[in-house]
Amino acid sequence: MPCTWVMACAYAPSGCAIACGGLDNKCSVYPLTFDKNENMAAKKKSVAMHTNYLSACSFTNSDMQILTASGDGTCALWDVESGQLLQSFHGHGADVLCLDLAPSETGNTFVSGGCDKKAMVWDMRSGQCVQAFETHESDINSVRYYPSGDAFASGSDDATCRLYDLRADREVAIYSKESIIFGASSVDFSLSGRLLFAGYNDYTINVWDVLKGSRVSILFGHENRVSTLRVSPDGTAFCSGSWDHTLRVWA
């Protein structure tokens, strides 16, 4: 790995490469198809270079372009082959902590969140912010598009998750309870969009009913803060990662 503290990783759509980065301020792409006698590190390609840590990365709808977010307050779109900067996105007033690409294959937007408490929707072609939401009271750690692409959810250090409707251009739901006092570190939707899974710094995963706004379940098992989670492509399970050094699959 390029540094001792990797903060972001992403699979290429083809499954033939992986991108990662962190405190080295850059995004490196490693091929996953190589001879067992080859040195994998020698085949890595440094694609993106920021002026502060890399917090998130995501391939676009092909292996040829990758989006990155950074503690330098910017997001950027890069050409994987040449390493050329294709577009930069300026607007956050502090570290950008997360991003998510719109689910449509023809979509040209993505959403980002950061330490300025803002969630911002960007047009990748123009580099302009097309929508901005500022209702959280602390850092936004995670953003995730609703399966239809018409809304997105966010998780924050203010101990809430929130749902934003892009067509209505407003916040439409808050997922919180008085007993929840720790931040939400990661969010993802079920395949249908009816459930929202959220990992928290109190070692738990809360499952929310998106429409009713009520908590459906609490999942216990991790022994330290839950740092990330993601639903499987077929929707039958999800995996969570934690500071307890484990990955757990829930089904």
Report residue 42: phi and psi, to 5°. Answer: -70, -20
d(CA 38, CA 59): 25
| Tokens matching residue 99 | 């991003």
Four-point Cα dihedral 29, 32, 33, 38, nearest 10? 80
Name the residue among 99, 154, 91, 96 with its Cα closest to residue 127.
91
pTM score, whole prediction: 0.93
Compute how many other C-beta atoms are within 10 angstroms of the C-beta atom of residue 78: 25
pLDDT at 33: 78
Report whether 91 contacts 134 (CB < 8 A). Answer: no
pLDDT digits (tens, 9 = 90+) for 99-119: 999 998 767 999 999 999 999
Q: Percentage of the chain surpassing pLDDT 70?
A: 94
**Gap between the terminal Cα atoms of the chain:** 30
Mean pLDDT, residues 155-160: 99
Looking at the DSSP bridge assignments, the partners of residue 205 are: 199, 219
Position 43 pLDDT exceeds 80? no
CA distances (Å), 178 to each of 62, 159, 172, 214, 233, in order?
Answer: 43, 9, 19, 13, 33
Bridge-partner residues for 193, per DSSP?
none
CATH class of 135-251: mainly beta
The token duo for 195 is: 């459930």
> What are the tokens at 1?
């790995």
pLDDT digits 0-9 by tens, 52-100? 999 999 999 899 999 999 999 999 999 999 999 999 999 999 999 999 9
Burial code (b: 16+ CB inside 10 Å, e: under 16) for 124-146 equals beebebebebebbeebbbbbbbb
Average pLDDT, the chain: 95
* 17-34 average pLDDT score: 91
Backbone angles phi, psi at 235, to 5 degrees: 75, 5
Q: Is 96 left (phi over 0), alpha (psi -120 to 50) or beta?
A: beta
Q: CA 239: distance to chain centroid?
A: 14
21 has a pLDDT exceeding 80: yes
Cα 49 to its chain centre, rounded Å, is: 19
Mean pLDDT of 40-48: 79
